[in-house]
Amino acid sequence: MKNLNKKILVVGGAGYIGAHMVRQLSNARCDVVVLDNLSTGHRKLLQGGEFIQGNLGDSDLLDRLFAAHAFDAVMHFAAFSQVGESMHQPLFYYRNNLAETVALLEAMLRHDVRRFIFSSTAAVYGEPVAIPITEKHPCAPTNPYGNTKLAVERMLADCDAAYGMKFTALRYFNAAGADEAGEIGELHDPETHLIPIVLRAADGQIDHIRVFGTDYATTDGTCIRDYIHVNDLAQAHLLALDALLEGGDSATYNLGSSNGYSVKDVIGKAEAVTGKKIPFIEAARRPGDPAILVASSKKIQRDLGWSPVYDNLEKIIQTAWNWHLKQQ
């Protein structure tokens, strides 16, 4: 990272991706402050930075925080992210993901902080009409979670036009894996991500996993997804932060490996990594699950020079397995 010794506010920094980001920022000698209400995050995941527990929607807290620290930029990871839950509790998602982000942006403007990195999602695209998915693909979310993320992206574009607030929105595909040392990893409750669920089945913590849909138009009938290691995600954020601090313009990027793996591929590779048989049962499709989601990450590779270090799924699963074993 070029811009060392910068002061960065990481909102949601005690979560899975945020904690990996805090570690990389600290390694880059940035002065990091973490704001997290610990509703889904975990204090024990933090490997650096000053920690402040509080709610993003608390404007008084934000004003005290910005008055006490001359932040160079803000990185925003705090969001509810369960698609199914968002279908049943949409206002819960609009308040947390959208309204509280408004409070954060207002505080930034009051204190003249105008560099913003946003954790977005491939869910903004909805049902794909072309594979791989580029940033020019139409955005048509199929659930409130995706709607809230797209609404924030549009709000950021408006804030750039009105206030000169420069931002980078990073649209994640399937974040996976864990820190190499096994000190940071996924601690979701409930766990909804495929790889940690598969590893729980490998370890006997659950009897089996359910494979939702085996009749898709794919090589083995199961859904295909693009998995990207969480450290590669964090590295992309560092490059995006550098670009903004160097005076770069606002931008939106996909973050994926550009490789697609089916659910059965994941199970097979997890069996190879763990040396254990992973039982599964076939179940009906879940509403709204696209057959294939694979990113084109050519834009960020071209603009920022980013490329994934963890370039195959077995390497990603191995890091997740190391983390899983350390939790026993």
Of 16, 93, 125, 145, the active-site residue reads 145
CB atoms closer than 10 angstroms to residue 217 = 7
Cα–Cα distance list, 205 to 81, 143, 193, 211, 325 (Å) = 24, 31, 15, 17, 12
The pair of structure tokens assigned to 250 is 């606002």
The pair of structure tokens assigned to 272 is 């190879």
Cα–Cα distance list, 304 to 14, 30, 240, 265, 321 (Å) = 26, 20, 7, 31, 31
Residues 236 and 100: their CA atoms lie apart, in Å, by 25
Taking phi first (over 0 means left), then psi (-120 to 50 degrees means alpha), and beta for anything else, what does residue 295 get? beta
Residues 316 and 309: their CA atoms lie apart, in Å, by 10
Contacts of 297 (CB under 8 A, 6+ apart): 253, 254, 255, 256, 257, 258, 306, 308
Residues 263 and 59: their CA atoms lie apart, in Å, by 43
Q: Please check whether residue 195 is in contact with residue 316, taking contact to mean a CB–CB distance below 8 angstroms.
A: yes
Active site residue 227: no
Residues 12 and 247: their CA atoms lie apart, in Å, by 25
Residues in the chain: 328
Would you call 100 helix, strand, or coil by DSSP? helix
Residues 262 and 10: their CA atoms lie apart, in Å, by 33
Catalytic residue IDs: 145
